[in-house]
Amino acid sequence: MISRKSPREIAFMREAGRIVALAHEAVKEAVRVGISTARIDAIVEATIRAHGATPSFKGYGGFPASACTSLNEEIIHGIPAKTRRLAEGDILKVDIGAEYKGYHGDSAWTYPVGAIPEATRKLLEVTREALFEGVRHAVPGNRLQDISHAVQSHVEKHRFSVVRDFVGHGIGKRLHEAPEVPNFGEAGKGPILKPGMTLAIEPMVNAGTHETKILDDGWTAVTADSSLSAHYEHTVLITEKGYELLTVLEGGDRHG
Ligand code: MG
Ligand code: MG
């Protein structure tokens, strides 16, 4: 069962999403050589709370922080730490969730630290493009895997690989709801998308193998071959005629 949100619920999700976007704005300002991932996490938490929301991730399944901060070969679920400091050429994935009046927004972005090599820049660009290829297919009447297929095709055209072990998801009253939204699949398969559905679309793209492993901390997912990984995510509402990005600032993207 994929829940369809009422106008009232959508209003709460828009606000949750806006707060997540504000937290990302604060991160963008803060990312620089020498800052610790714990400091980034503190900035995220303060921004979320300053707007009357709570961090969705803190305590979720026992996760100890408000943001997931994953560096370089780390894919997702990196734990912020005072001892992890950003260095020139790093890429930092920051994943942020906020709960506002019982509804969640979820968005991830990959931030370059200082100057990054051209091959790394390309990985980020292709992953970001893949997110928007997926989003473009999140319209009523399409099937769920039209999104998956669009993401996968774009990534593989550029000879990168999509992570299979972690996927996007429905979102609303709970951070993770049905359905799963894989970043790989066959066009024309899966449930039909309908207005009021809200999905977190989130390609995780590796420069090398798609295979992953989990570090001893029990959380951090890394690429099995230590290649770089990028991650971009938006929470998206299916509208009557198209889609609306929810994890953006006011006046953000709306199509159809
Ligand atoms: Mg996320
Ligand atoms: Mg998510």
Q: What is the mean pLDDT of residues 222-236?
A: 98
Q: What is the pLDDT of residue 214?
A: 98
Q: Residue 140 phi/psi, 5° resolution?
A: -60, 140
Distance 132 CA to ligand 1 centre (A): 16
Q: What is the mean pLDDT of residues 80-101?
A: 98
On whether residue 200 sits in a domain, the answer given is: yes
Q: What is the pLDDT of residue 215?
A: 98
102-133 pLDDT, tens digit each: 999 999 999 999 999 999 999 999 999 999 99
> Looking at residue 126, which CATH number applies to its domain?
3.90.230.10
On whether residue 171 sits in a domain, the answer given is: yes
Report d(CA 77, CA 60) in Å as an integer.
11
Structural domain count of the chain: 1
254 pLDDT more than 70: no
- Ligand of minimum distance to the alpha carbon of 20: 1
Distance 96 CA to ligand 1 centre (A): 6
255 pLDDT more than 80: no
Distance 231 CA to ligand 1 centre (A): 9
Distance 153 CA to ligand 2 centre (A): 21
- What percent of the chain is modeled with pLDDT above 90? 97
4-18 pLDDT, tens digit each: 999 999 999 999 999
Distance 170 CA to ligand 2 centre (A): 8
Whether 85 contacts 40, CB under 8 Å = no
Q: What is the mean pLDDT of residues 232-251?
A: 94
Q: What is the pLDDT of residue 253?
A: 55
Q: What is the pTM of this model?
A: 0.97
Q: What is the pLDDT of residue 256?
A: 44
Q: What angle do CA 245, 98, 65 make, to 5 degrees?
A: 130
On whether residue 38 sits in a domain, the answer given is: yes
On whether residue 174 sits in a domain, the answer given is: yes
Q: What is the pLDDT of residue 250?
A: 76
Q: What are the residues facing 74 on neighbouring strands?
A: 222
On whether residue 255 sits in a domain, the answer given is: no
Q: What is the pLDDT of residue 239?
A: 98
228 pLDDT more than 90: yes
Nearest CA to 80 out of 91, 66, 61, 59 is that of 66
Q: What angle do CA 10, 108, 13 make, to 5 degrees?
A: 10
On whether residue 1 sits in a domain, the answer given is: no
* Whole-number Cα distances in Å, 198 to 3, 61, 130, 178, 204: 8, 22, 18, 10, 19
On whether residue 230 sits in a domain, the answer given is: yes
157-181: string of b/e by CB count within 10 Å (b at 16+)?
eeebbbbeebbbbbbbeebbbebeb
152-204 pLDDT, tens digit each: 999 999 999 999 999 999 999 999 999 999 999 999 999 999 999 999 999 99
229 pLDDT more than 80: yes
In a 10 Å sphere around its CB, with 0-12 CB exposed, 13-18 middle and 19+ buried, how is residue 97 labelled? buried
- Residue written as token pair 């709970």: 174
- On average, the pLDDT of the chain sits at 97
Report d(CA 64, CA 68) in Å as an integer.
9
Distance 190 CA to ligand 1 centre (A): 22
Distance 51 CA to ligand 2 centre (A): 21
- Ligand of minimum distance to the alpha carbon of 176: 2
* Whole-number Cα distances in Å, 178 to 1, 67, 164, 186, 253: 7, 23, 17, 19, 24
Distance 133 CA to ligand 2 centre (A): 17
On whether residue 250 sits in a domain, the answer given is: no
Residue 32 lies in domain: 7-245
For the chain, list the strands marked E by DSSP. 54-55, 67-71, 74-76, 91-100, 103-112, 161-162, 168-170, 177-181, 198-201, 204-206, 212-214, 221-223, 229-231, 234-238, 243-245, 254-255
24 pLDDT more than 60: yes
